[in-house]
Amino acid sequence: MTTAEHLDTIDRLRTRAFPDVRGRSEVGTSGPGYHLAELGGSRWYGDEDAADRLAHEEQVAAEFEALAQRLEERWGKPDRFTLDSLRLRTEAREVAQPWQEIGDTSDHLHLWRVEGRWVAVYEARWGADHSPQLMAAVTVIDPP
List, in sequence order, every beta strand (DSSP E) within the chain.
23-24, 28-31, 34-38, 79-82, 108-114, 117-124, 133-139
| Residue 1 confidence (pLDDT) above 90 | no
Average pLDDT of span 68-77: 97
Q: What pTM was computed for the model?
A: 0.88
Q: What is the mean pLDDT of residues 100-129?
A: 90
Per domain, the residue ranges of the chain are 3-139
Please state the rounded mean pLDDT for residues 85-102. 74
